[in-house]
Structure 1
Amino acid sequence: MSELVESHLESMTDELAELKRIKLFSPEEVKLIVKTRKEHEYRINGVTKHKEDYIAYIMYEKAVLKDIRIRRNKLGIADKKGAIEYKIIKRIHKLYENAIQRYSDDFPLSLSYFKFCKDANFQQTASLIIQNMTKKFIHIPEAWLVAASWYLKSDLNQALNMIYKGITHHKDNQDLYCEAVKLELYNRGKNNIREESQESQKATESEINSCKKIKTYIEAACEHIKDYNFLLKILSMLETYPFTKEVQDSIVTMLLEKHSDEETVWSALAQREFKGHYYQVPPEFQNSKSKKFRRKRSLEKFEEGIEVMKQKNPDKVPVLWGICLDWLVDEFRQQPLLNIVRQSDVLDMFEKASKSTALEEKYYVIWAQLEDDQTKVLQVIEKGLEANPASLSLWRLRLKYFGMQNNTKEFNECFSKAVFHVQSKSAPLWVAAIGYHTLNSTEDVVEAIFKKAVASPKEISDIFKPEYIEWLTLHKGINEARQTYLELAKKKPYCKELHNAMAKIEEIEMQPDVVKLENIYKLACEQFGHEDCDVWITLVEFYYKHRIALMECDPKFDLTEPVYAVHQEAKKKLGDQSFLWANFQEKFRLISQTAPL
């Protein structure tokens, strides 16, 4: 085995020498290539061989080849261009051959080999691989698709034959039927070019023949494939070929007969109408390109679908309405200028939708935003809240409406109802109420709202306790804030941000009261020290930062004593939680090393 490996490596000597000579690779890089190739050679020439070893070697050689091409382009080195690369390509080819001989039943390997040969322009080898694939991998649909793609460049009939054979073995494979339709359409295109100089009747016959074949494929497919998405896919493929109108109509008929309980089907059919692919339209409108007419046809199809779905699949009616409204609003908003007539049409559809079913909250929000009449805006919001009583978005709109009307009584009543319905997610409503009354009411009213907020469940009180303290500081002074802080801080549920807010307020005083600051930090440790290492670290930082002020208050103050006490207390609270305790120790060590003395 060693002799074989050395022989293979010797055959690479000239190639590597050239890489080094033209300075595409450094001597160190060339040594690494030799080392890596040697490892791969030993693996594939060992007593026990594995497919993965061949694949790894092939992938490595492809990477080297790619790297050479990149470096040539980057450095502008064209010397020996092609000669070096060809040797590597031949080596990859040989590796593939050896691997295929051992693992001939491996389709992914054969497919990779084929793609390599096709890219390397080894036409004859690629053709042989395709022949072998269609014999050995009859059971794999992709083999027939790859074969058809290969033959399409030179022989359309042979490509069609490959697909036909594939279908005979895989009667339920959607990809094969789709490819068959694509090839027939491609064949029709070639025939069109060939027949341009011939009589028009012959061109029509070509169209008829293509349609017949496509229809045959679809009928055969439908015997084995019951997926409506397949029919929709074929329908989409045929859209741009007017001569397939009859086939398209037959597919639409099948969809309506067998899949009219699917909202996706009705959505697709409505979109076809908007594109001008009409189904069962009077002859005089067959070729109409009017956008107004296309929109009308599309909406009629949506409404037809909704009526059918009410009977066959009522649970999906809101979904279809949602698809319709999304499309309608999107299409409306794409216009650079608002069209009053079209806006009225859009609003009418929202009205119909709300009468037909309970819509999602977002549609009532959009509807309200589209309305110009403020009375109707409120009506829409009320309808939305009837269907979605816990909708934060709709309650916010309702509050905004009364705020803009400067109707304080209605605003307050709305706010109370909104908080009741939205519950723990009502923080934005509290913000809106505080904002409104800050502009329109006395401080006492604003403070009353704050007091209600801080007395609310934790999800709300945690947000507004710090804000209330800051508000008190600005409007009633720090002493009032200190007193309220102590009251709130000792009541459950505890709020860590309350301590942080009060500490910041104390810190920005001209002469911070270090005793009060220390008490704030200690209280935070008492309440949260069992789950948060940072509250202990904050207390340690406080001692280092304010040690001089603490000594002025107490000449006997010794920094080491409170810091040591914090360390011991933190160990008691966090010691059982290894991650938190380790985190604390690391931060404590950094403070001890970097804090000024």
Structure 2
Amino acid sequence: MAEFVNQRIEDMLNELEQMKRIGLYTDEEIKMISKRRKDFEYKIHRRVRCKEDFLKYVGYECVLLQNIKLRREQNKISDKKNDIEYTISKRVIKLFKELITRFPNDLEIWLNFMEFCKSVQNTYVITGYLEKLTQIHGDKAKVWQLAGRWEYEEMNSLDSGRTYIMKGIQRHVDSQDLHIDLLRIELLMAEAMTEDDLVTQMTRINLVVDFALKNVQSVDFIIKMCTIVNDFSFATDVRTKLFTILWEKYCDDSDAWNFIADCELKNKDVGGFDWLSLNSNAFTSHYPSNLESFVNVHETAISKVPTRKSVLNYINSAIKLIANTEFGMATKLNTMNRAFTTGHTLKLLNEQYYKLWLDILCSDSVTGRDKILNILEEACQNIPSSEFIWLERLKRCTNNSNDMMILFKKAKLAVPTEKVASLWEYVITSTKDITTLKKLYQESMMLPPKMASTVKPLLLKSYHENSGIDFARSEYKSMAITTPFVIELHNAMIEIEKCEKVPNAKHLRLCYNLAIQQFGSKDVDVWLRCVEFEIQAGHPEACGALYSRACSNLNDSVVSTFMSKYSEVINRN
């Protein structure tokens, strides 16, 4: 084996010498490449050969090719590509061939082989292996599709591609993808034919369509076929046949209507069907005719197929108009607004769609505040548990504190307790009246601890902002001893005290001590923060007593953690 491996390495010397000669790699790098290859060669020529060793070798060579490409671009080197890249590509292809021979049942190897050959523009190699691929993996419709597409897309051979697709259909008669690809190939062949030959080919195409529809029956399949045929102007009869079947069989399917609306928007032929006759209240406007038809189709669909899906198809299609450069922004916004209004009227919008709609309404200077309020009020009735919708209503009551409190009371009854945090936060930060804030505090005493940890600090900060430090201190003492106890309240008061021009050590010490009394059995950090405070306040002698108290009061499970962190604090200060 050693002689064989050495021979393989010698065969690589020319490309390595060329890499060095043109300045792609240094002597050290060349030696490293040679060593890695030698290691791989020994591994793949062992008595028991492992798939992973081959794959790693292939991976290494592919990375090397990428690195060579990068270095050529950086150093503007274009020489000796045949001696270097072409030789490496041949080696990788040889490795793939051996992999396929030894592990033919691994489809992933075949797919990687095809991808590599495509990347190095050596597509002819794969053509010789497609027959073997379909023999081994012919039980998978995807493989026949891959083989067919390789021939007609990579090799520009429609005949060979059609052969593989038709063989695939014989084994997988219900495969949508194979029938779709066969129709596409037949249409591409017809496109290149003379007028005399086209008549015969169109007969063949009709047979292909009939056979496909006999074996695959779904609205998605019909839509895919219509989409393909729409790209070929000469296929008028086929188009009419497909659209007729679409209407006759699937006129109660929202996806069919959605497709027709899309065709109207793109000015595609819909087979001559007069869908407008189904709508006695057709929408007329100054819109371009294709957009007007788009709106009418969707609204007709909702009247004929009044489902949530019909409405969401309308809205989602209208949202996609944003990327359409054919229409002005005002027209697009009006269309989206109309679609959202339809969904809102039918009570079929969810919270996410209300968020999108509100963004549109707020960006439209024509939409008045009262209209938005009416929409939000009705939205609360449609989705009473939506925190977002109630919050948007509250935001529009800022000028009237009494109205906001009445609305907040309704919101608390409708929204689950665990989801009202943002409502509490908005109301507290928006309220300036101390009496109202104190009422809010009384109500907050019934909140669960998790919610209280958010609400209590917010109230304390509002007390400070609206009535000053003395009032905040007074209320803090009361709030601190009222359950549920929350560490965030003490932290908020400490921050307030520290923001004073001259922080008051006496009041700060009170905050730290109250935190220790309530959380000193489990929370190591409350003790450490107090230790740091005493050091910074110029009383390091107090740390010893704090240390002893902490070791006595903390649970045994966290004492060692405290001792370790205490030492870090002392050393740091």
TM-score range, shorter chain: 0.7 to 0.9
Question: Where do residues 337-348 of structure 1 align in structure 2 (5 Å cutoff)?
Answer: 338=330, 343=334
Does structure 1 residue 562 correspond to structure 2 residue 546?
yes
- TM-score computed with the length of structure 2 as normaliser: 0.82
Does structure 1 residue 592 correspond to structure 2 residue 573?
no
Structure 1 residues 255 and 544, CA gap change in structure 2 (3 angstroms) = farther
Counterpart for residue 390 of structure 1: 385
Deviations 1:255-302 (A, max 9, x none): 4454555443332232223323345545999xxxx9544344333433
Structure 1 residue corresponding to 2:225, chosen from 231, 234, 238: 234
Counterpart for residue 536 of structure 2: 545
Structure 2 residue corresponding to 1:189, chosen from 188, 191, 216: 191
- Structure 1 residue 48, shift from structure 2 partner: 0.8
Residue 434 of structure 2 contacts residue 463 of structure 2 at CA under 8 Å; is this kept in 1? no
- Structure 1 residue 594, shift from structure 2 partner: 1.9
Amino acid in structure 2 at the alignment position of 1:384: A
Counterpart for residue 179 of structure 1: 181
Counterpart for residue 280 of structure 2: none
Report the secondary structure of 1:240's partner residue: coil
Amino acid in structure 2 at the alignment position of 1:166: G
Q: Which moved more, 1:62-71 or 1:360-369?
A: 360-369
Q: Which moved more, 1:270-279 or 1:566-575?
A: 566-575
Structure 1 residue corresponding to 2:314, chosen from 296, 311, 324: 324
Tell me the percent identity.
26
Amino acid in structure 2 at the alignment position of 1:419: K
Structure 2 residue corresponding to 1:572, chosen from 531, 549, 556: 556
Counterpart for residue 523 of structure 1: 514
Structure 2 residue corresponding to 1:305, chosen from 301, 305, 313: 301
Structure-2 separation of matches of 1:113 and 1:282: 51
Counterpart for residue 95 of structure 1: 95
- Structure 1 residue 542, shift from structure 2 partner: 1.9
Question: Where do residues 349-360 of structure 1 align in structure 2 (5 Å cutoff)?
Answer: 353-360=343-350
Deviations 1:315-342 (A, max 9, x none): xx223223323444664897646469x9
Q: Which moved more, 1:455-464 or 1:365-374?
A: 365-374
Amino acid in structure 2 at the alignment position of 1:180: L
Structure-1 separation of matches of 2:144 and 2:208: 16
Report the secondary structure of 1:242's partner residue: coil
Q: Which moved more, 1:259-268 or 1:484-493?
A: 259-268
Residue 516 of structure 2 contacts residue 527 of structure 2 at CA under 8 Å; is this kept in 1? yes
Report the aligned-residue RMSD.
3.9
- Structure 1 residue 377, shift from structure 2 partner: 4.5
Does structure 1 residue 147 correspond to structure 2 residue 141?
no
Report the secondary structure of 2:222's partner residue: helix
Question: Where do residues 444-459 of structure 1 align in structure 2 (5 Å cutoff)?
Answer: 444-453=435-444, 456-458=447-449
Residue 381 of structure 1 contacts residue 397 of structure 1 at CA under 8 Å; is this kept in 2? yes
- Structure 1 residue 180, shift from structure 2 partner: 1.4
Counterpart for residue 265 of structure 2: 274
Residue 5 of structure 1 contacts residue 41 of structure 1 at CA under 8 Å; is this kept in 2? yes
Structure-1 separation of matches of 2:486 and 2:494: 13
Residue 522 of structure 2 contacts residue 554 of structure 2 at CA under 8 Å; is this kept in 1? no
Amino acid in structure 2 at the alignment position of 1:523: L
Deviations 1:209-264 (A, max 9, x none): 55544443333233333443333223223333333344344334444454555443
Structure-2 separation of matches of 1:329 and 1:49: 56
Counterpart for residue 7 of structure 1: 7
Structure 1 residues 568 and 25, CA gap change in structure 2 (3 angstroms) = farther
**How many equivalent pairs are there?**
556
Amino acid in structure 1 at the alignment position of 2:207: T
Residue 530 of structure 1 contacts residue 574 of structure 1 at CA under 8 Å; is this kept in 2? no
Does structure 1 residue 49 correspond to structure 2 residue 49?
yes
Structure-1 separation of matches of 2:8 and 2:296: 73
Residue 186 of structure 2 contacts residue 205 of structure 2 at CA under 8 Å; is this kept in 1? yes
Amino acid in structure 1 at the alignment position of 2:295: L
Counterpart for residue 414 of structure 1: 407
Structure-2 separation of matches of 1:103 and 1:539: 68
Deviations 1:453-483 (A, max 9, x none): 4654445533232232233334444343223
Counterpart for residue 132 of structure 1: 132
Structure 1 residues 258 and 496, CA gap change in structure 2 (3 angstroms) = farther
Structure-2 separation of matches of 1:540 and 1:528: 15
Runs of at least 5 residues in structure 1 that lack an aligned partner in the other structure: 196-201, 311-316, 552-556, 576-580
